[in-house]
Amino acid sequence: MPALRNPILRGFNPDPSILRVGSDYYIATSTFEYHPAVRLHHSTDLAHWSAIGHALEVGFDLRGIPDSGGVWAPSLSYADGLFWLAFSVVRTMDGDDKDIDNYLVTASSMTGPWSEPVHLGSRGFDFSFFHDADGTHWIVGVQWDHRPEHPSFSGLVLEQYLPDEQRTAGETTLLYREEGLVEGPNLYRIGDWYYLLIAAGGTGWNHGVTIARSRALHGPYERDPREAVLTTRDAPGHPLQKAGHGELVQTRAGDWLLVHLASRPTLHLGERYSTLGRETCLQRVEIDDAGWLRLVGGGHHAKVVVGWEDAEVEDDPDPAPREWVDDFDAPVLDSVRWSTLRGPLPPATADLLARPGWLALRGGHSPASVFDQSMILTRVEEHEAELEILIDSDPRSPREAAGVIAWYDRAGWIWLQVTYDAENGRHLRVVQRDGVSARSAPIVVPDGPLRLRASLAGPRLTFAWAEQTGEWREVPGVFPAWTLSDDHGPRLRFTGLFLGVRADDLDGRGWRADIDYARMRFVEADHR
């Protein structure tokens, strides 16, 4: 088995859930407000992973939900010859209140088709299934308390699921609670023990994985005497920060692995910013002589390179850049490569037939909308990244604009746009939003198609433009990519940085911009 190098899923791939069926390994990750929902990945050797699609795509719509709401913490399992996928949809998250719906979908194949969702109630979030050896099925999850005088995270609860009736039993057992935040629970039966794996300390720099155990399913559960099985909260210089939210999987050889999230921050003025979001990692674990889960090799810090005794560890200090190009020659948009906000773009909005070989992107709502934005986005996987497009755009109003964008959420984005006003004619501007909007001075450009480029270098973002066959010209200014991160500002933010293409038509007259190609390039670099 080859050594693996963390993160195994780079860029925004949080809350990983792992499953092995035969010789195939699968990971599902959270997608929050992005469409398609619940990203699925596959591997046969644990070191090399590929995205194979999404579980929630056709007919799934999240329009109206808030930023960082949507689909949280999907959890995979396998029972009765079916793949089971539990997930939460967070519809509102205002103050003490959270409106949450939990669902189950099943399929005979990981690539679907997936069943219609079965509603599992609205008690809390981070629900997962435990299938006991006696054939019973159980749900364990976070119980939310909306009352302001009570702790919101009111414990981890267990409830039986009745598959023949497609409903929960309605009665819960409180399995575990402590003063700090505990969430992301998963149950396992290993030997004579039931183990409750727990995400502790919140999703930020204090994140970690701990464990509790019991001889009986319903408890009582005894907490691990150690502070954490896995964390980097005490190692601020470690390359894998925020390590936590884990699940276990056993290999065919009997080894145990822990999948977990972590972040690779970049530095700005000495402060850490996780612009890439939370990524997916794997660690080797074992049960020690006292019956507790421990990292193989000791300690509690995440390892960047994880190997087996007979594995060859590849040490490549200067990895080659990774690059892909979408020429928009396919009849439909590549939904593995591109994400959209809250729902799919209708064929008339992302039109690949109107001008063969081009994406005709019809403008939509403003960047503030939770309904019909017209934008395609791709995950940023490294701190050095570059997106280049060729755009044919002829706006005739300040309310028509299109171009390349660095996007975090509706309150945080930086956009190089081709737009128009009576004073300057067709021109370029950089418009950015960090709570409030700001616009750069205009750059008047000639008629015809333009190449636009967004370049990320750690905490900094720059832009350039060129005529179709001309030399590149830098757009004045260095822009704050570090603001496009979980860690900037007072708001709860759970996603990551995307680069993409957007078009606005604020008059709703059907105006469009045509995109000939999009070229994405990543270079691994340490920006700590």
Domain map of the chain by residue range?
A: 4-306, 322-523
The 8-class DSSP code of residue 441 comes to P
Residue given tokens 């909005």 in the structure block:
349
pLDDT of residue 104: 98
Catalytic residue among 33, 126, 159, 183: 183
User: Over the stretch 361-412, which tens digit does the pLDDT of each residue have?
Assistant: 999 999 999 999 999 999 999 999 999 999 999 999 999 999 999 999 999 9
Cα–Cα distance measured from residue 105 to residue 128, given in angstroms and rounded to the nearest whole number = 12
pLDDT at 292: 98
Give the whole-angstrom CA distance, residue 373 versus residue 517: 20
| Bridge partners, 144 (sequence order) | 153
Joined together, the tokens standing for residue 196 give 């409750």
What are the φ and ψ backbone dihedral angles of 483, each rounded to 5 degrees?
A: -75, -15
Return the closest-CA partner of residue 196 out of 177, 181, 210.
Answer: 210
CA-closest candidate to residue 433, choices 463, 404, 410 = 410
Mean model confidence pLDDT for the chain: 95
Instruction: Tally the C-alpha atoms within 13 A of residue 85's C-alpha that lie toward its C-beta.
Output: 31
**Residue 472 burial class via C-beta count within 10 angstroms: exposed 0-12, middle 13-18, buried 19 and up:** exposed
- Per-residue model confidence (pLDDT) at position 16: 98
Q: Give the model's pLDDT for residue 6.
A: 98
Does 183 qualify as catalytic in the annotation? yes
Q: Do domains 4-306 and 322-523 have the same CATH topology?
A: no
Rounded to 5 degrees, what are φ and ψ at 481? Answer: -65, -25
Q: How far apart, in Å, are the Cα atoms of 392 and each of 70, 108, 348, 396?
A: 34, 44, 18, 13
Residue 470: predicted pLDDT: 93
Note the CATH architecture for domain 322-523: Sandwich (2.60)
- pLDDT of the residue at 419: 98
Three-class DSSP category at 481: helix
In whole angstroms, what is the distance from residue 317 CA to residue 302 CA? 20
Nearest to 300 by CA among 238, 212, 213, 214: 238
Q: Indicate the fold that domain 4-306 takes in CATH.
A: Tachylectin-2; Chain A (2.115.10)
Indicate if 178 belongs to the active site. no
Residues of the chain with pLDDT under 70: 310-318
How much is the pLDDT for 97? 86
